[in-house]
Structure 1
Amino acid sequence: MKNPFLVVVYTFLVIVVLPVILTIGIYKDDIFQKEIVQTKTTNSINIKVYNTKTDNVEELDIEKYLYNVVASEMPATFDEEALKAQAIAARSYVFHKMENGGDKIPQHKGAVVCTDHRHCQEYLDTNTLEKLHNKKWMSESWPKIKKAVDDTRGMVMTFEEKTIQPLYHSTSGGKTENSEEVFSASLPYLRSVESPYEEESPKFRANMKISKNDFINKFKGVGIVLSDNLNKDIQVMSRSEGGSVKEIRVGNKVVKGSKVRSILGLNSSDFDIKVDGNFLNIMTKGYGHGVGMSQWGANGMAHKGYKYDEILKHYFKGVSIENKY
């Protein structure tokens, strides 16, 4: 290497180029390692769940937890787009609890959520689901539910960059309710909307027939006195935008429609009472509180060709669907 030009080139390669290549290699490797760590930390989230049946707090992968929630909350016979909508609603519910002190609620015993459907979401473990259904259901329907959860992995609904409180119910009876007309808070994404595709729901309409004496005694048990002239003693005072009874006069007291629903064990607060001789016919529409997403309405929309995001954005006004991981 006696050629002066070659000596200069060699020196340049050794002193300048080689260190740069090595540095770039180290930098790229460092980025790669960071990507691996990021994937490991965001690809799976564990949550604490208080199992009310066993009285134990369990740590579960959120997606595996959601398999069982969706399987418990919605029939596997429903359209896959309705199941996806349910999966996102259920995941949003968990994140809303995580972001708003769910672990501080006494009933949760330090967990984010519990398995009591009256307080949180319905959750049945896999063994219970198999006993409730059968092995054929586990081999055919369970994979369908898992796919709906997997296909929406990490997705939640947000409003103004915060995870929403995604209420849902079985059947609205044709129109959902504004949140403040059922619960205390007025939430901008929980507005009354039409729910036109629910006719297949077995609870779309129902009728209860009860004797006068039984009716009077049920109200007597909560301190409300009625006369024999029930036509005069019962009067609906007001209804919500969604059609439910807001206030009703029973005897000499004006009470909420939700209280009458509780006293009589009705499917919903959307009811009409008619006196027929010694009996009363009580006709109800829908099943549940009526706020947020109607599950049967979601299935009806899916049958009409709507996708999961269209279903959710119909029932939850102004929301976005974002990935948490």
Structure 2
Amino acid sequence: MKNPLLILAGVVVCSISIPILISVVSYDDINVSTQVKEIKEVATKTPVVNTKKEKEKEVINYETIDKKTPTINVYNHKLGKIQAMNMEEYLYGVLAGEMSSEFDIEALKAQALAARTYVKYKENQGPNSKHRNALVCTDFRHCQEYKSPEELEKKNGKAWMENSYKKIKQAVNETKGQIITYKGKPILTLYFSTSSGKTENSEEVFSSAYPYLKSVDSPYDKSAPKYISALELSNSDFVNLFKKSYGNIKIDAGNLSNQVKIKKRSEGGAVESIKIGNKEIKGTDVRSILNLNSANFDMKFENNSVKINVKGYGHGVGMSQWGAQGMAEEGYKYYEILSHYYTGTNITDIY
């Protein structure tokens, strides 16, 4: 028989050890469960980075100044007289003339800043004799298109004025006094309808280089109605058009493919120079002679005809309006659109 004292000691040790062991195991289980729970909570609280369209973006407010809107002198070429206009009310007419009211509000705001900045740029250039020393004129061939409320109602009707015109005014009002600047000065805000996929460097189209008018990608223009256009001419018509413009050009209707060669293209894809007969001609001049939508074109010679395929619509420098519309549809704000098309610029609120 075993020693009774040893048995008693064993019982005492077990009675003390087992509760302690159970407590330790339970404590570890509790700690593990708590840690797992905490990890799950942290994971749930960690934000997920979404795509541009999905994430909530911070909206930048450029309205920092609230001064009285200035009055400017505008030469109305249709009426043949100078008119004093409230700057913002003048911009209603410009925006209505330069961009469709069907466009997204952010594209319209971008256009409003481009139009307002153009006026301030002209102001810095001084009086212009072409519009009787008024700051700007209403002729789009020289300044910006402008349509009075009376013209707009006559053309579009009262329903348009009550609905679409309100959207035009909203775009102007919500950007009151804001202009685009480069190193503190208003920029030359060139803009056009439709790019060919890239905009142009200013010096490759207008000879003058501006640091903010650089070639940039413009991938959202493909839905524009004039993104692609085409022209077909007979060989004789093609030759006659160039002979009319250049009296000493040597070219004939036979075998044109050997007499016409594109020599150089711009960074944006437009034809810079083309050899036609014995003449090297600018792509912009060819655009004018043939009445093409842009200088980004290709020529194909088939039998007795010339087929010309054209990309884009307009000079291609600055902001593409259809590109701005595409960016707005993708969720970009007006200031992001302007920053994209006008390199290195800022937005400044002047009144």
Superposition TM-score tier, normalisation by shorter sequence: 0.7 to 0.9
- Over the matched positions of the two proteins, sequence identity in percent amounts to 52
Match of 2:273 among 244, 247, 250: 247
CA-CA distance at 1:131 after TM superposition: 2.2
Q: Is residue 159 of structure 2 the alignment partner of residue 136 of structure 1?
A: yes
- Tell which structure's C-alpha radius of gyration is larger: 2
CA-CA distance at 1:226 after TM superposition: 1.5
Aligned to 1:269: 295
* CA deviation map 1:288-308 (0-9, x unaligned): 000000000000000000000
The code of the aligned residue for 1:135 comes to K
Is the Cα–Cα contact under 8 Å of residues 216 and 225 in structure 1 kept in the other structure? no
Runs (5+) with no aligned partner, structure 2: 1-64
Match of 1:76 among 80, 88, 101: 101
Aligned to 2:211: 188
CA-CA distance at 1:201 after TM superposition: 0.6
Is the Cα–Cα contact under 8 Å of residues 178 and 347 in structure 2 kept in the other structure? yes
Q: How far apart, in 2, do the equivalents of 1:66 and 1:225 lie?
A: 49
SS of corresponding position for 1:221:
helix
The code of the aligned residue for 1:309 comes to Y
Is the Cα–Cα contact under 8 Å of residues 48 and 57 in structure 1 kept in the other structure? yes
Q: How far apart, in 1, do the equivalents of 2:165 and 2:225 lie?
A: 23
SS of corresponding position for 1:236:
strand
CA-CA distance at 1:45 after TM superposition: 0.3
1:143-292 mapped onto 2 (5 Å cutoff) = 143-223=166-246, 224-227=249-252, 228-292=254-318
CA-CA distance at 1:111 after TM superposition: 0.2
* CA deviation map 1:110-137 (0-9, x unaligned): 1000111011011111111122222221
Is the Cα–Cα contact under 8 Å of residues 178 and 241 in structure 1 kept in the other structure? yes
Aligned to 1:310: 336
SS of corresponding position for 2:308:
strand
| Root-mean-square deviation (Å) | 1.1
Q: How far apart, in 2, do the equivalents of 1:225 and 1:210 lie?
A: 19
Aligned to 1:295: 321
Stretches of 4+ aligned residues off by more than 4 angstroms: none
SS of corresponding position for 1:44:
coil
Q: How far apart, in 1, do the equivalents of 2:130 and 2:250 lie?
A: 36
TM-score, normalised by the number of residues in structure 1: 0.86
Is the Cα–Cα contact under 8 Å of residues 171 and 201 in structure 1 kept in the other structure? yes
The code of the aligned residue for 1:323 comes to D
Runs (5+) with no aligned partner, structure 1: 1-37
Q: Is residue 116 of structure 2 the alignment partner of residue 91 of structure 1?
A: yes
CA-CA distance at 1:148 after TM superposition: 0.3
SS of corresponding position for 2:224:
coil
Corresponding residue pairs, total: 284
1:58-77 mapped onto 2 (5 Å cutoff) = 58-77=83-102
SS of corresponding position for 1:255:
strand
